[in-house]
Amino acid sequence: MRNSVKVFAPATVANVVCGFDVLGFAVNAPGDEVIMRMTGKPGVQLIKITGDEGRLPLDPDKNTVSASVQHYLEHIGRTDVGVEIELHKKMPIGSGLGSSSASTVAGLFAINTLMDNLLSNKELIPFAMKGEELACGYGHADNVAPALMGGFVLIRSYEPLDVISLPFPEDMYAAIVYPEVDVPTKDARQMIRSKILLKNAVTQWGNVAGLVSGLFMKDYDLIGRSMVDVLVEPTRSILIPDFYKMRALALDQGAVGFGISGSGPSVFALTKNEETARVITLSLQNQLKGLNINSLGFVSPVNKMGPVVLD
């Protein structure tokens, strides 16, 4: 049995444009790291957070990593266990890239590794959802499920939880750009209308079914024409500088589809290869530079592994 472990968990792109709260995929980078050590004294301590510019709580009840680890230990009946946690944030907070999810998933994967993999990654999802609830007020699974399972994931149902791994074209890449403006998920959720028109619902579920079919059929054309969101994007895009200009740029340069990553402000494009993803990332970053907005760019295939033990 191990006494300590270092874990990496990946960032994720939730919603994938049309699938608000029900679709997401993981990427290879960025992501967060957690180091966890057994202490011999019952209780979960958060001893260090780096890379957060002092923004995350060190109080173990308020931090999503320690709170979900505590919840896991209670669930498996091991409140006698004591651990200390270091969280190393390697990705921006409030970016729409599943920042809280990557931290929480790294913590849960670490404790589960120390407990000899008592639960499967899929069984860890409900614990990670509790972490999301703490972070943004709602326990959505479209970041934590792909972060834990890797790949492309569908949340078919929340009650009961039914999570499905989807296939995807092997050569598919994501171009991701994070404009350095902060959009907390909590605020970005509050701005969405809770009532929708039936005709918009019809458009949306047609697109969700189209996107899932396109992934199964490895049909880029179908994937692209299904990446349309009439429910959330019209409102949230207001928060993202030059959103529609960036979309036009990405599509002109060969993107399969383009949209907001999670609750934003990051945007992403799916592409048919790495080169196109690189070209699009640079051109979106240039567009933002023209507005005097700094940005970070990431190019990645869909991550197949989920969290991994580094040490």
Residues classed as catalytic = 132, 185
Instruction: Tell me how far apart the alpha carbons of residues 269 and 255 are, in angstroms, rounded to a whole number.
Output: 6
* CB 98 to ligand HSE: min, Å: 6
Give the whole-angstrom CA distance, residue 261 versus residue 212. 17
Site string for ligand HSE, 106-145 (x = CB under 6 A): ----------------------------------x-xx--
Give min distance, CB of 145 to ligand HSE, in A. 11
Question: What angle is formed at CA 273 by the lines to CA 93 and CA 296, rounded to 5 degrees?
Answer: 25
Told to check if 263 binds ligand HSE by CB under 6 A, we report yes
Question: Which of 171, 180 has the CB closer to ligand HSE?
Answer: 180
Span 41-80, contacts to ligand HSE by CB under 6 A = none
Based on CB atoms, which residue is closest to ligand HSE, 190 or 213?
A: 190
Number of shown-chain residues binding ligand HSE (CB under 6 A): 14
Using the minimum distance from each CB to ligand HSE, give the nearer residue, 114 or 240. 240
The neighbour count for residue 170, using CB atoms within 10 Å, is 9
Q: What are the structure tokens assigned to 240, written together?
A: 């993202």
Under rule CB under 6 A, residue 32 binds ligand HSE: no
Question: Cβ(221)–Cβ(245) under 8 Å?
Answer: no
Nearest-angstrom CA–CA distance, 291 and 12 = 26
CA Rg value for the chain? 19
Q: Does 21 bind ligand HSE (CB under 6 A)?
A: yes
Judging by beta carbons within 10 Å of its beta carbon (0-12, 13-18, 19+), is residue 116 exposed, middle or buried?
Answer: exposed
Q: What string marks each residue from 204 to 243 as x (binds ligand HSE by CB under 6 A) or -?
A: ----------------------------------------
Interaction of residue 14 with ligand HSE, rule CB under 6 A: yes
The answer to the question of residue 262 lying near ligand HSE (CB under 6 A) is yes
Q: Is 307 in the site for ligand HSE (CB under 6 A)?
A: no
Residue 309, CA atoms < 13 Å, CB-side half-sphere: 13
CB 25 within 8 A of CB 270: no
Closest distance to ligand HSE from the beta carbon of 237 (Å)? 13
Cα 223–227–231 angle (5° rounding)? 150
* Cβ–Cβ < 8 Å for 14, 39: no
Beta bridge partners of 298: 176
- Answer yes or no whether residue 287 interacts with ligand HSE by CB under 6 A: no
The site string for ligand HSE over 160-199 (x = CB under 6 A, - otherwise) reads: -------------------------x--xx----------
By CB under 6 A, tell whether 146 contacts ligand HSE.
Answer: no
Q: Copy the structure tokens of residue 273.
A: 């290869």
Q: Which residue has the tokens 């598919």?
A: 172
Task: Find the residue with minimal CB distance to ligand HSE.
Answer: 262
List residues near ligand HSE by CB under 6 A: 14-15, 20-21, 96, 98, 140, 142-143, 185, 188-189, 262-263
